[in-house]
Amino acid sequence: MTDKQGRLEGAVVAVTGGGSGIGRAGAVACAAAGARLLVTDIDAGRAEAVAASIREAGGEAASLAVDVTDRARVAAMVEAAVERWGSLDGLFHCAVDVAFVNNRDARLTELDDEVWERMIDLVLTGTYNCCKLVGRQMIAQGSGSIVLTATDDALIGCAGLDAYTAAKGGVVALTRSFAAGIARDGVRVNSICPSFVSSEPQRAWLDDDASRRAVDALHLLPIPAPEEIAPLVVYLLADESRAMTGTVVPIDSGYMAFKANLDIVGAMRVGD
């Protein structure tokens, strides 16, 4: 079950939103690297299906229903890992209701107040709950690595995603300030910033020819599957990234590197 290096051999890792997409791929990759997995999700059935698939492949995994906006459930996640395995060495916090983001976010001037409030609760307070309670456990142990999931949209503007962008921008800022505060206790905090990833809730965009062309034109490399994000998560959780904390790492098929396929330089060469 372990990968060749066994980079997370014996580590106890909890994943939020582990029932689907990037969280599921991260959980499976951590298990393959030797970790013992607590797969959590708001959807208990999805979390258990992933834990069962890890066990069937020879790994060690349990599942738990955890809504990250519910602090008592996040506390239960920490307790479950520690009770079962004695520590919590890694957290991959990935949970977000992506359909809610895609369907309900908007320009601020048109945004429903309830959508703003739910977005901040889901994305930012969810991250606060996980960092606070997992962080306390890791401080007690004197070690741990936390990987948060932000987005390129928190680093570069995206029209019509104002609430999501603001909330994930908070995750980026928290990555740095929390890392600064908790480093002396032996705990590292980093975040990943994917661009478009072909997880289940994004597939409808990719199945439609026109939106597929638009998405492809915004990236230098093919749109990745969640499994292509997972190796970075394993790396950031493992000791081999011990020189990294407070970093915000784009993993984005080149999205941040260029301004789409526009001939900007040509357009500026007036009068040549």
Ligand X SMILES: NC(=O)c1ccc[n+]([C@@H]2O[C@H](COP(=O)([O-])OP(=O)(O)OC[C@H]3O[C@@H](n4cnc5c(N)ncnc54)[C@H](O)[C@@H]3O)[C@@H](O)[C@H]2O)c1
| Residues that are catalytic | 164
Describe the strand order of the beta sheet including 36-41 as a list of residue ranges.
60-65, 36-41, 12-16, 90-93, 144-149, 187-194, 248-251
CB 194 within 8 A of CB 172: no
Determine if 122 is a binding residue for ligand X (CB under 6 A).
Answer: yes
Q: Which of 11, 13, 31, 41 binds ligand X (CB under 6 A)?
A: 41
Question: Least distance to ligand X from the beta carbon of 239, Å?
Answer: 24
Among 87, 141, 202, 247, binds ligand X (CB under 6 A): 202
Q: How many CB atoms lie within 10 A of CB 229?
A: 23
CA angle 226, 228, 232 (to 5 degrees): 105
Where does this chain touch ligand X (CB under 6 A) — which range of 2-10, 95-103, 138-146, 180-188?
A: 95-103
d(CA 220, CA 68): 34
Judged by beta carbon, residue 95 or residue 138, the one nearer ligand X is: 95
Residue 123 DSSP one-character state? I
16 binds ligand X (CB under 6 A): yes
Q: Which of 95, 131, 133, 238 binds ligand X (CB under 6 A)?
A: 95
Q: Is 161 in the site for ligand X (CB under 6 A)?
A: no
Give me the amino acid identity at 173.
A
| The one-letter amino acid at 5 | Q
Tell me whether residue 34 or residue 230 sits nearer to ligand X (CB atom).
Answer: 230
Q: How many amino acids of this chain bind ligand X (CB under 6 A)?
A: 31
Kindly state whether residue 199 participates in binding ligand X, applying the rule CB under 6 A. Answer: yes
Query: Does residue 46 touch ligand X according to CB under 6 A?
Result: yes
DSSP-based helix, strand, coil % in the chain, nearest 5: 55, 15, 30
Q: CA quadruple 160, 162, 164, 168: dihedral positive or negative?
A: positive
CA–CA dist 31, 115 (Å, integer): 35
How far apart are alpha carbons 212 and 23 in whole angstroms? 23
Strand partners, 65: 41
Which of 10, 45 has the CB closer to ligand X?
Answer: 45
Residue number, 85 or 92, with CB nearest to ligand X: 92
Consecutive H or E run containing 195: none
17 touching ligand X, by CB under 6 A: yes
Among 8, 13, 33, 42, binds ligand X (CB under 6 A): 42
| 196 binds ligand X per the rule CB under 6 A | yes
Verify binding: residue 92, ligand X, rule CB under 6 A. Answer: no
236 binds ligand X (CB under 6 A): no
User: Is residue 22 close enough to count as binding ligand X by CB under 6 A?
Assistant: yes
For residue 92, what are the CA distances in angstroms to 15, 149, 270?
Answer: 5, 8, 50
Residue nearest to ligand X as judged by C-beta position? 21
Report how far apart the first and last C-alpha atoms of the chain are (Å, whole number): 62
Cβ 142 to ligand X shortest distance, Å: 28
Residues near ligand X (CB under 6 A) are 16-17, 19-23, 41-43, 46, 66-69, 94-98, 122, 149, 151, 194, 196-197, 199-202, 226
